[in-house]
Amino acid sequence: MSNRRAFITLLGGAAAWPLAARAQQAGKLPTIGLLGTATPSAWSQRVAAFVQRLRELGWIEGRTIAIEYRWAEGHPERFADIAAELVRLKIDVIVTAGGAVLAAKQATSVIPIVFAVANDPVGGGFVASLARPGGNVTGLSVQAPDLAGKRLELLREVVPGLRRLALLGNVGNPVTVLEMAEAKQVAHLLGVDVVTLEIRSAADIASAFETLKGEADALYLAGDALVTANRTRINTFANVARLPMMTGFRENVEAGSLMSYGPSFSDLFRRAGDYVDRILRGTKPGDIPVEQPTKFDLVINLTTAKALGLTIPESFLSRADEVIE
C-alpha cells in the first residue's frame, strides 16, 4: 500500500482525503476548534455527545483528528478574541454555538463553521437561508417560536396558583430579549402578571433578585451563556426565595432548578458531529442545509420540588424525559 493510500485509510476512508490531504501537507492532523460559550462543566455532556459521534464516524481524538478547546466561560466579550486565535491556529473547522457564531463568522470567511445551536441563523445573518446556507457557515437551528408558551403551560401545571411571574434574562443578548418578550406576551394572554429582572453581567444577579422582595410565584429564566455559566448562583437565589424555576437548559435542573423544557442540546451537538464529518470529507458547508431540533426534553428535579413544597402530579412525571431525584 502506498503512503498516500495508507494515510487515507488511517483517516477513515478515501472520502476523507480533501481536508485530510491539506492537514497532512501542513504536517498535522485535521483539527477542530471548539469555541465553548460557557464553562467546560456546563458543556460536558454536549462535548461528550459530539466527540462520541465523531468517534462513531471514524474520527478519534488524538489519533485521526485533534480538537482545540477554548472556553469563554459566559463572557461574550471573549468570543472575538477566541475566534481570532482559532483562525491563527489554521484549524480546519470551528464548532460553536449561540452568540459566538457571529464572532467566528467575522473572524473568517474561509474556515468552515458549524453551529451546534443557533436561535435564528437567518435573522442573525449567519446563513442566507436554511435550505441553502451559502458561505462558510451551517449547523443546527433551535428556532421554535412556541417554546416560551409551552414552558409557561408546563410551569402552570406544577404551580397551579401562578399569578405573578418573574422573568430573568441577559438583556445584552438580542436573542434573550426576543425570548423574554415572547414569554411576557404569553404570560399576559394567560392572565399572569410579569416582573422583569434584567441582567447584563454576573454582577447584576444579586441585585436583580433583591428587587423582587417576594413579589412572584415562580421564575422563568431565559437562557444563554451568561446564565448557564452562573447557573448555580441563580439557582441558589431562586431556591432561597422559594421560586419554582423554569428554563430551557437541563444543566440548570442538574444544578438545582425545578425544571427545563427545550431542544436536547446533547442531541444537537451529536448531530453537529455529522456536519463536521461531511465537511472533513470534502462537502462545502454552504451546501449542507441547516436542520431543526427533532428531540425535546422535559427534565424535572424532584428534590427541588420537595424542598419548595410542591407536589408534582404523577401524570406530569410520567411525561418527563428525565426525573432527577
CA–CA distance, 221 with 230 (Å, rounded to integer): 12
pLDDT in tens, the chain (325 residues): 444 434 333 444 334 445 555 555 556 899 999 999 999 998 999 999 999 999 999 999 999 999 999 999 989 999 999 999 999 999 999 999 988 999 999 999 999 999 999 988 998 889 999 999 999 999 999 876 578 999 999 999 999 899 999 999 999 988 889 899 999 999 999 999 999 999 999 999 999 999 988 889 999 999 888 998 899 999 999 999 999 999 998 889 999 999 999 999 999 999 999 999 999 999 999 999 999 999 999 999 999 999 999 999 999 999 999 999 9
Which residues span the domain enclosing 287?
Answer: 3-143+265-295
Contacts of 63 (CB under 8 A, 6+ apart): 29
Q: Tell me, what's the pLDDT at 67?
A: 98
The confidence score (pLDDT) of residue 153 equals 94
Asked if 88 and 186 sit in the same domain, the reply is no
Examine the domain organization and report whether 178 and 269 are in the same domain.
no
In this structure, the answer to whether residues 104 and 159 fall within a common structural domain is no
Residue 124 has which C-alpha cell? 442573525
Q: What total number of domains does the chain contain?
A: 2
Asked if 25 and 137 sit in the same domain, the reply is yes
pLDDT at 8: 37
What CATH number corresponds to the domain at position 227? 3.40.50.2300
pLDDT, position 83: 98
The confidence score (pLDDT) of residue 17 equals: 45
Query: What is the distance in angstroms between the CA of the first residue and the CA of the last residue of the chain?
Result: 56
Tell whether 113 and 158 lie within a shared domain: no
Q: Are residues 184 and 211 in the same domain?
A: yes
Question: What residue has cell string 437565589?
Answer: 237
Same domain, 277 and 216: no
Q: Which of 219, 150, 218, 160 lies closest to 186, judged by CA?
A: 150
Q: Which residues pair with 141 in a beta bridge?
A: 118
- Same domain? For 309 and 183 the reply is yes
Cell numbers given for 218: 415562580
317 and 188 fall within a common domain: yes
pLDDT at position 214? 84
Same domain, 26 and 139: yes
Same domain membership, residue 171 and residue 309:
yes
Q: Where are the alpha helices (DSSP H) in the chain?
A: 3-10, 17-25, 44-56, 79-88, 100-107, 147-158, 174-189, 205-210, 225-229, 231-240, 250-254, 265-280, 302-307, 314-319
pLDDT, position 7 = 39
Report the pLDDT value the prediction gives residue 15, as an integer from 0 to 100: 41
Answer yes or no: are the C-beta atoms of 266 and 49 closer than 8 Å: yes
pLDDT at position 22 is: 54
Closest CA to 137 of 204, 189, 83, 185: 83
pLDDT score, position 13: 38
**Are 168 and 229 contained in the same domain?**
yes
Q: What is the pTM of this model?
A: 0.81
